Structure 1
């Protein structure tokens, strides 16, 4: 299976070296999952355990987290630790703003429901892989992350606005797709919905 975090680079390894300073997508996904669990549990001990696990994961990659209120919607913001001093961001230390990860916390608060949705989406990804190959399947996996983590929806329930957000923001800022994946993302979305026996809603890309 192709690593969805891999980025095609030159043989001298410059891009690979740069990628080492970014937060891996699977880590960001797990941080988001733990954040959602912390916010929805009624058990203080569980909340503390989720928070500690999240913070430990971020510490391993020298990142921090905070929740930002964005017009009434909470957004999980992940920043490199080196940008901070005494809890305040120093703008003079920011060399590449794309290293930041921002995740709207708008999905379900029910972990069991999230698990069911994620299992459904992963089955769809597996079918896409069997039918259409790894590149389209890797795009399907990224769309599954977006649909489950952001909206707790089956992929085929995404709206046109959801898909526009995915294509113009999430896919380019948080997914680190390969060149091959970027070239076929529109076709991938068509094939994913076709595999789910649904029409693709109209969206702007």
Structure 2
């Protein structure tokens, strides 16, 4: 991707909005997330679609000028590196593990500074889970992955104290708050 095309923060936000739309409980909420994503990407001359024919689903962001009537026209594509793809299921890119882990540690530090060690330790456990099992940033976690963390990973691998167990769900919410 060319540096002047789509900022990484925009890609991250578009991915987050896509995940929120997929997990929304009502159609109006999902539509609002998709509309916000369209406006965000429109400011950069981009559009989004979710490719579902892969194993899993992939968010594809590409320049508006490639599209007419909802279809990409290959003759309009001059530089494929302008497109951005993000997996919406399964693990992220293991090649980016260091950057993902660094990001997740920064989020953990923010939670610890704002809410103390109990929430900070829970945030660190969640960061470990997302970094090591999915190679993705904490804020990209799906509802299923959060449930997996809370029911499987956390009780077996985090060695939580009684205080930590009592607030783990709140701690995970604080992780998302720290990112936004």
TM-score by length of 1: 0.46
Residue 62 of structure 1 is matched in structure 2 by 45
| Structure 2 spans left out of the alignment, 5+ residues | 92-100, 111-126, 137-180
- Residues 69-100 of structure 1, C-alpha deviations (whole Å, 9 max, x = no match): 24441111111001112222121211110110
Q: Secondary structure at the match of 2:25?
A: coil
Higher relative contact order (CA 8 A, sep 6+): 1
Residue 101 of structure 1 is matched in structure 2 by 84
Aligned structure 1 segments of 4 or more residues deviating by more than 4 angstroms: 124-127
TM-score by length of 2: 0.52
- Cα RMSD (Å) of the superposition? 3.5
Residue 22 of structure 2 is matched in structure 1 by 39
Alignment partner for residue 64 of structure 2, among 81, 84, 87? 81
**In structure 2, distance between residues paired with 1:45 and 1:80:** 26
**Which structure is higher in helix share?**
2
- Pair 1:153–1:66, CA change in 2 (3 A): farther
- Pair 1:89–1:124, CA change in 2 (3 A): closer
- Listed as ranges, the matches of 1:40-189 within 5 Å are 40-106=23-89, 121-123=104-106, 153-155=129-131, 157-158=132-133
Residue 19 of structure 1 is matched in structure 2 by 3
Structure 1 residue 44, shift from structure 2 partner: 2.3
- Pair 1:82–1:71, CA change in 2 (3 A): closer
Q: Secondary structure at the match of 2:89?
A: coil
Residue 130 of structure 1 is matched in structure 2 by none
Q: Secondary structure at the match of 1:67?
A: strand
Structure 1 residue 107, shift from structure 2 partner: 5.8
Preserved contact between residue 50 and residue 57 of structure 2 (Cα < 8 Å): yes
| Structure 1 spans left out of the alignment, 5+ residues | 6-17, 109-117, 128-147, 164-205
Q: Secondary structure at the match of 2:58?
A: strand
Residue 29 of structure 1 is matched in structure 2 by 12
Structure 1 residue 158, shift from structure 2 partner: 4.2
Residue 143 of structure 2 is matched in structure 1 by none
**In structure 1, distance between residues paired with 2:107 and 2:85:** 26
